[in-house]
Structure 1
Amino acid sequence: MTITVLPHRDTAGLKAGQLFIDGEWASARDGSTWTHHHPATGEEVGEFAVASAADVDDAVAAAGKAFESWGRSTVTTRVSVLLKYAGLLRAHADELRALLALDNGVPLSFGNIYATSVTAAADVFTHHAGWVDKVGGTTLPPYQGGDHLAMTFREPIGVVGAILPWNAPFLLFAQKVAPALGAGCTVVLKASEYATFSVVRMVELLAEAGLPPGVLNLVTGPGDPAGERLITHPDVAKVSFTGSRAVGKRIVEASAGTLKRVSLELGGKSPALVFPDAPNVGLAAMTTMGAVTMGLSGQACVANTRALVHREVYDEFITAAQGMAAAVTYGDPFDPGVISSPLINERQLERVLGYIERGKSEGRLVTGGERLDGDYADGNFVAPTIFADVDNSATIAQEEIFGPVLTVVPFDSEEEAIALANDTEYGLGAGLFTGDTARAFRVARRLRAGTIGINGFQIEPHLPFGGFKQSGLGREGGRSAFEAFTEEKSVLMPLGEEMM
């Protein structure tokens, strides 16, 4: 039976997306629009505005004007908005999940997985509301003697350009917007063209929470021209971006002209290290393969797409991973029996199939490797794929594929496993499966990665998240993320007649 998502548009409350600038919804200045095609069916779902450079200028100007008051707003004001918004997110969780399914095809069954859920986004706003009255300056004793004060203050950095990816807009909206608003910054937010309708609704709810006009502005459309203008605008003080490494490098280049502050999360090729003393090798295999296939179908920056497996349990791991691959279901994202999504667009589909073709000469194809046809022919579906006996230097073991492809690399010793895990340009995450507590901490300390899960993996709002090496700059989550939206200022003042 042919898959269709069109019957869900009306019940989900989907409507044409507009720009949100200075508290008002409006079309793009030049009237440009983008037609969104659903990745599971190819159907036209709806339209939204494509912001021009002039629209971005308007948004930045509105944010700059609003910063004069929001940057000096009281703790009570900011905390009240953030907490009220967290409550609205929780109340509208089902609605937002449905809109996301229309955006990027992530099934409703996956929408309650914490790391990508509306609940996680609400928790991030709640968490950062708690930092508003706790991140401040210090008073320090003078080195030079005399009667004077040496003080520091933390002040909001100014206008922030926040650029979202399509794969996890709930969490990443929260990880960027909550600390920025809590610190007193104003924001120009750019949604991905592949996940706009859910972000539009999130912005509507933020306005409903009482955020003053201009404090948060939304521009939509592809990276050029909206994203390019945002990262080069002289009045944007900081850019926070999650996405591809190529775009991240472009942002660093663009920031040089005005020395913008940047926070970048740029992907990974994260390893899962499976030792023979793992509590349950089969479960380790299912967890690893599940992260590559369930939900986002491997389109997640922190997914463990490299499995480094000790030879003693190598065959057991591959057999269990193959069983997990066989259990993955595709189709209508509104069907509760569907647990995985299509690839986001045809370009990504061709990219993943190209890597798979390359992998056939770099390893042993255990399962998968093909585009799904039949009822799935109109969507961008690729079967869960496993390559075994792969050398860690192979292309499919080094480059981020961003699809349902797991490469399995054997090792013989702990030292070799650590060396293989760190032999990558990335350093975002890692998984570690062992029943030896000493080994767990010993290996975790030596892995060059920002977030490491031991016998499991989770994202927490109060833990910093980010990467080593080319996985990015800075962290999101926790106090360090909040402070990243501030500048530290030193103030010295004599209290007596002496002059310093």
Structure 2
Amino acid sequence: MTPNGVNVKHPDKLFIGGEWVTPASNESIEVVNPASEEVVARTAAAGNRDMDAAVAAARDAFDNGPWPRLSPMERMAKLMEMVDHLETRVPELAAAWSAQIGGLASTAGPMHAGGVAGLRGIASLGERFAWVEQRPGMAVDTVTVVREPVGVVVAIAPWNGPFAIMANKVFYALIAGCTVVMKPSPETPLEAYIIAEAAEAVGMPAGTVNLVPSDREAADHLIHSTDIDKITFTGSTAAGKHIASVAGGNMVRATFELGGKSAAIIRDDFPIEAAAGILGNTITVMSGQVCAMLSRAIVPKARHDELAEAIAGVMKGVKIGHPDDEDTQLGPVAMHRQLERIEMYIEAGKASGADLVTGGKRPAHMNKGYYMEPTLFANVDNTSRIAQQEIFGPVLCLIPAEDEEDAIRIANESDFGLNGSVFTNDAQAAYDIARRVRTGVVGQNGMRMEWTAPFGGFKQSGIGREGGDEGIHAYVETKTILTDAGVEV
């Protein structure tokens, strides 16, 4: 069972060793549309035995199969074929995203078209990356440094951006020569099916790409396998810490892109109305369910009340509606438990003494679906729960600061360090402040993203980087070969 417009051939099966196979158990995954609260898809659910089979297939494909032994250029050519296939399925990817998490139809198409286009840049590393380098040595004639695939990769993606995040992991792993076991979120398994079908369509070697959607118990069994070489995980910090402990115990390589509580610092030179427009509309992007979301806004105390009033005005004008409506600006949050989590934090914000300026409840005109109004808390204490913990919903905290130095201190007063922004018309000031904020990305005047650049976090926001040419480093091992004469490479 799949949603309208999504043509997955074998949703009741797993993709292991190049074949669509029936799972060892009779378990299945149900996907609920958050706008209608109805089941819109059912897929197979992998159990422990299926996880073992997928790892064994990937292990054999890496140890004995052709993929790691192809040249980077040969791998690039095959991945470009996969991109060609995925380009034809952008409408399905968009429909799957909207049906599974309530993503807005108005943005789903361009978002997934851009995600597919970005894969060409990853594939092109086959010809651009320095796979082999030679340099003169001091104790030997020639030092040859080679980058070889890390091995069997377990790729675990979250539910908010399931295609782009999973596809990026898969393409980086594959261009490096690794083999992959995909473990999508149980809330959004469909995109990984389309990636698996793309691999099948272009004739990827058996076992090179495997798919095992599952619940958390079977996923935990997967990460404990001693036959895997690397885990790449995007998701919550709590889950990341658990995976890190398991990976460390087995000395498995691991990279993590985790949570955030990113701050926007508003300088005195930036107009209030412009800041309000950016902040009030940004918090509605994907219903606030973005790890890099600017969920804290830090403003000089003298401008605080004026900015609070202006943001509230923007939020009150946001069109809340069904994700299929073209004029909808804010759709539902992805799951009922996510709605309950947001409501819990709103109550915590009230109890903290912060001012609830607008929002904080379900919209009265939506009698079905997991909806929450855009919500603004003002006069927020940066040490409070709503300022320190990731809410993952359309809730913005406005925090007053004494001056610019205090604003930078507040921005850094966080366990997270994923994203940030400096609102200013002075690019040099934006750069100078960005250098002092301990976060992986800082953009001028908004939640700016650049898919050709490395992305990742400081502190509890993760380890390692995805995106850009730097993204390949997590999927290769560096080997040094020392010889008494120059050799052909």
**TM-score (norm: length of structure 1):** 0.92
The reply to whether residue 368 of structure 1 matches residue 359 of structure 2 is yes
Secondary structure of the corresponding residue to residue 211 of structure 1: coil
- 1:367 counterpart letter in structure 2: T
Which residue number corresponds to residue 181 of structure 2? 188
Q: Which runs of 4+ in 1 moved over 4 A?
A: none
1:405 correspondence with 2:395: yes
Q: Give runs of aligned pairs for residues 173-322 of structure 1, distance below 5 A.
A: 173-225=166-218, 227-278=219-270, 280-294=271-285, 296-322=286-312
Residue number among 424, 443, 459 corresponding to 2:414 in the alignment: 424
Which residue pairs with 2:337 in the alignment? 347
User: Is 2:412 aligned against 1:415?
Assistant: no
Alpha carbons 1:14, 1:99 under 8 Å: kept: no
Between stretches 80-89 and 103-112, larger displacement belongs to: 80-89
The two structures, once aligned, show a CA RMSD in angstroms of: 1.9
How many Å separate the matches in 2 of 1:264 and 1:173? 13
Q: For the Cα contact (< 8 Å) 1:17–1:200, is it kept in 2?
A: no
1:37 to 32, 39, 46: 32
Q: In the alignment, which of 75, 79, 84 is matched to residue 78 of structure 1?
A: 75
Q: CA deviation digits over 1:115-165, x for unaligned, max 9?
A: xx22332233211122113232322322236xx322211100000000010
C-alpha distance in structure 2 between counterparts of 1:334 and 1:185, whole Å: 39
Structure 2: how far apart are the matches of 1:397 and 1:457? 18
Unaligned runs of 5+ in 1: 1-5
The letter for the 1-side match of 2:328 is V
3-state SS, counterpart of residue 310 of structure 2? helix
1:11-37 Cα deviation digits (max 9, x unpaired): 443663531111212231112112222
Measured in 2, the distance between the counterparts of 1:195 and 1:435 equals: 40
Q: CA deviation at 1:482?
A: 0.5
Which of 96, 101, 109 lines up with 2:98 in the alignment? 101
Alignment of 1:139-158 (within 5 A): 139-144=134-139, 148-158=141-151
Alignment correspondent of 1:463 = 453
- Structure 2 runs not aligned, ≥5 long: none
Whether the 8 Å CA contact 1:449–1:467 is kept in 2: the answer is yes
1:128 corresponds to 2:122: yes
d(CA) in 2 for partners of 1:90 and 1:283?
36
Q: What one-letter code is carried by the residue in structure 2 that aligns with 1:480?
A: E
Q: Secondary structure of 1:406's match?
A: strand
Shift of 1:166: 0.4
Q: Secondary structure at the match of 1:160?
A: strand
Does structure 1 retain, via aligned residues, the 8 Å contact 2:292–2:447? Answer: no
Q: Could you say which residue in structure 2 is the equivalent of 1:3?
A: none
Q: Does 1:138 align with 2:133?
A: yes
Output the amino acid matched with 1:331: G
Q: Name the CA distance, whole Å, in 2 between partners of 1:14 and 1:474.
A: 33
1:470-489 per-residue CA deviation (whole Å, 9 max, x = no partner) reads 00000001222112100011
Residues 197-219 of structure 1: CA distance to partner in whole angstroms, max 9, x if unpaired? 23212321232233222111011
Instruction: Measure how far apart 1:257 and its partner are.
Output: 2.5
Aligned counterparts of 2:57 and 2:186: Cα–Cα separation in 1: 22
1:55: how far off?
0.4
Moved more, 304-313 or 440-449: 304-313
What TM-score do you get using the length of structure 2 for normalisation?
A: 0.94
1:89 maps to 2:79: no
Structure 2 distance, partners of 1:231, 1:143, is 42
CA deviation after TM superposition for structure 1 residue 361, in Å: 2.4
Matched letter for residue 234 of structure 2: T
